[in-house]
Amino acid sequence: MIITRKDELQPLFKELLGNAAANSKFGATTTHMGKLLPRLEGGGGGGCPVLVVGVGLAAYDPAT
């Protein structure tokens, strides 16, 4: 099981943290949803079942 973030959160991180901090701490990695799914679809899971959960903007509450 992999819990990661959706691509749609990157602009929010840049807005909250600034561009440099967002890129260094929250840049695209292989567990970022946009990069993870193509790897798994290409066989990167080694034949094992993988459950992927992507956290998106709907989970963000600016009031908290």
Give residue limits of the domains in the chain: 2-59
Residue with more model confidence, 24 or 63: 63
Q: Which of 22, 31, 27 is nearest to 2 (CA)?
A: 31
Interatomic CA distance for residues 38 and 35, integer angstroms = 6
23 has pLDDT over 80: no
Segment 1-5 shows an average pLDDT of: 89
Write down the pLDDT at residue 57.
Answer: 92
Write down the pLDDT at residue 49.
Answer: 92
